A and B are shown apart, each in its own frame.
Chain A
């Protein structure tokens, strides 16, 4: 076997090893899972949007709320994608759940047709870091009566889910602007 062939084999093996490493890294680069937390690029705009939201309070009219949510979600793809759906459904139907008070304030997540579970259990869609919340605290899911909308239901939590000052028993339909209180956390439904 000629010296040249052996040298080529030796260098070829090293090259292959590194090509292998780069293909592994290439696979990893596209292997994204878990939860994506999208922070807004323009911090200032976010603060302003939040301030506006706070001034409006829970009893906002749906139209500016939509503008506020749109601005707040900014570059987030989900909010952009959900815009046409909201128009088709009408103004009172919420599309996102936003945490307005508590340790997770500022977090929002889109409502999913499979329903979203809120609680401290790591398998919940919204995992609360709140000592007064139960493992599986409450659930927001498409309105069971068949209407176009969403309903919230308490899952037998220890400290209860409150809408305003009423403790939730059973399930109840929700609309844009409804605020839910769980322990120290306040959630709001937005269009």
Chain B
């Protein structure tokens, strides 16, 4: 079989990005206008300053990309804009239903968080010239992740909201440090696995067709598992611990190409879940609600899941129209249940469109990982993309009764500052890696030869890791 290998240089596609971005802003504005027309019969009065501000915000990111990362992926930013914008519109719509107006509203706060998130993403893009610099902070990230994960357990700082001890409060601000732990963990796993993957993938015994690792190589997965069990038991949060452990197992699998790690991971997680089910009434309740949300017993306990399902059902194919449904009947319609809220008002067509946007977002992350030329970049990109995808699976699977409901935020959409900041940083990191991946390969300057007397010898600069 004969094959030819040719490097392909892509165009930067920044022009396409600009067009898509304007399109995205138009969609968000139309959604907003529809909401207000349905609720109040008028076009929002503050549309010019708010829409102008939003446009300036995302165009600023676009300009920074032109300046600092010209070859970055062209569709990540427009997709993020649509998702974030639709989230804002839905939060605003729930504000209207609850009579929270102006600066009292959740939408106002969310808009401020969006601004901060964009500023943070731009800072990351400008400050981090090359994602490989992050590899130097492998173990710093590990320490940071551990601290962030355990911070909510510190007495006086941690707060328990809705039964989950995953919050910290500093003054008036409530914060979920776990969202940032996700990024720190992805950096740590990528840096760690790129060093150790040969040992983890080569040594071992073969049992039933799968190569199982040696006992001493099991150390890291056991440590990760133990940490997740700590989160599970002391913070009462199944979703977060599932997310971290899933992230670790997925990155381990990608780094080593060995299915046995997935089997080991699933077995370990199953053991933890069985333990939690027998030991904590809290989990038992969740599972009962999942299996039978419409029974009288379940409805007495919580009608949240049932309301969300009825909401989506009443939306039908094309939805009730933004502002015309009743998503506010569901508790936490603006955070955990924002997807059923949108599903009710945009219908099946709209909710599938949102899922497809997320799908393309994650696909671009995986494509970036495939295109990245260094192992660390590959693992980091796949880890970040997987964490977004898996988080979506946990939360949307929860509200649609695929798995038991555990509270996690819907990336870019849910009300909540920490989640928004963390996800914009994830997007900035993916943009940075994709810029490296799509950029044409550096040409090797002629005259590197040792006996070459040309002056080029003096100035040889070979940018290789």
Contacts and interface: CB of A to CB of B under 8 A. Distances in A.
Contacts of A144: 446-447, 449, 452, 454
Contacts of A49: 2
Given A33-B371, A38-B4, A117-B444, A13 B10 contact: no
B2 A72 contact: yes
A125 B34 CA distance: 53
B87 to A, nearest CB: 14
Given A24-B360, A78-B4, A106-B2, A16 B446 contact: no
B446 A21 contact: no
A34 B20 CA distance: 23
Interface string A43-81: 100110110000000000000000000001110101100
Contacts of A125: 7, 441
Contacts of A33: 8-10, 371, 437-438
Nearest to A96: B4
A17 B451 contact: no
Contacts of B332: none
Interface in B369-385: 370-371, 373-375
A74 B370 CA distance: 27
A123 to B, nearest CB: 5
A174 to B, nearest CB: 14
A88 interface: no
B15 to A, nearest CB: 10
B324 A6 contact: yes
A107 B2 CA distance: 6
Interface string B1-24: 111111111100100100110011
B318 A155 contact: no
Given A14-B347, A153-B448, A73 B437 contact: no
Given A17-B27, A121-B464, A35 B2 contact: no
Question: Which interface class (under 10, 10 to 19, 20 to 34, 35 or more) fits B?
Answer: 35 or more
Interface in A129-152: 135-136, 139, 141-142, 144
Nearest to B42: A1
Interface stretch (B58-66, B73-81, B208-216): B73-81
B202 to A, nearest CB: 12
B105 interface: no
Interface stretch (B241-249, B349-357, B388-396): B349-357
A171 interface: yes
A4 B208 CA distance: 64
Interface in A25-50: 25, 27-28, 31-40, 43, 46-47, 49-50
B464 A136 contact: yes
Nearest to B360: A24
Contacts of B75: 24, 27-28
A104 to B, nearest CB: 9
Contact of B4 (A1, A32, A37): A37
Contacts of B170: none
Contacts of A135: 464
Contact of B8 (A6, A27, A34): A34
Contacts of B404: none
B444 A9 contact: no
B33 interface: yes
12 contacts: A10-B34, A14-B346, A20-B24, A21-B353, A32-B10, A38-B4, A38-B6, A43-B1, A47-B1, A109-B4, A114-B443, A123-B374
